[in-house]
Structure 1
Amino acid sequence: MGCREPFAVDFDHLHERMTRPALAEDLKIVHMENAYDLLDCIALSGDRVANYLGEGPYNTEDRPLIEFRAPRNMSRVVTEFRNLQRIMQYRNFPQGVLASWGASPEEGGQRVRTLQRYYEATGMVLQAHQYHLLSQVALEVDLLKRALEINPDDRDAPFLGKRLSRMVDGKRVDW
């Protein structure tokens, strides 16, 4: 998701919308059970987006570069590894994306600290996925465990750990 103009999110409004039963049920399927889960998906914001993208051709409706290049890069471990590496290189904490963190400075500060836990744990999960691509199971497991130590509420680390366990045990991995 992206936009040309800066945008700002109100934490309380985001939380209220995400707890609506129909939306909450849909979001749970993709491990988005609270506002922190969603905010933690913001990998790049502000100037980091332009730095990440750099110079190059635009993907437009009349020049759909991605549509024709993507199939050549699917299932390529090197491409996925490099993409993760670049995202981690430019990833930034999304604090500036929120216009309001809460009704009081104390509440806002607590929410920022909580999101920092999510952000740090997600960095570990991204690194773990790189080790997964390299079949370095011990390093992957270590990073997933560290992610859960940092953020016990992380939803991706247990999911990936279960996937890894099924793979190591030779069982089919359900997606």
Structure 2
Amino acid sequence: MRIWTSEHTFEHSWDTVVTAAWRKYPNPLNPSVVGLDVLDRSIDAEGKLKSHRLMSTSWGMPGWVAKLIGMQESAFASEHSVVDPENKIFTLNSRNLTLSNVLTVNEQLTYSQHPTDPNKTLLKQEATVTVSGLPLCNRLEKMMTDAMTNNANKGRQAMEFVIDKIKKEARELTTEAHKCMDNVLPKTNSL
């Protein structure tokens, strides 16, 4: 078993980062997630949004590893998340479903408002990787955690990509709203 951890501070508010996290996939920087399906979503009595999603991924493992463990082209993972808007905490827990009899990856991401700067967001990631019943278990676990380090960097870049996209959309909507108001106001003033 290997444990992998990472921390990162986004220079954006919690609301912005959480909005981007919901819209993170698909994106050109993380092509491994090819689909997301919402299986269940509800708001509990405390106002927390709870979701269960099924992720369809392409892991991009080296060919020899895929053959060794019988990997198919697509892999599936289950993701449970909780958005707590009052405390500004968004937690995602995911676990692979595909090949879970030989490889388990349990990952938790927690986005929280930065403790000293409300205009920043702290991301804490932790994953546990366990390979069992295969030769070279330690080597395979190390390969997986090394890939996680690389993918975490890509994931952060993807979040920045999505945040930029959201900000661009907001500017375009603002511009369009101003155009509409510029067209409507003169007509209402002449009445």
Normalised by the size of structure 2, how large is the TM-score? 0.26
Q: Could you say which structure has the greater relative contact order, defined with CA pairs below 8 angstroms and 6 or more residues apart?
A: 2
Larger helix proportion of the pair = 1
Larger strand proportion of the pair = 2
Normalised by the size of structure 1, how large is the TM-score? 0.28
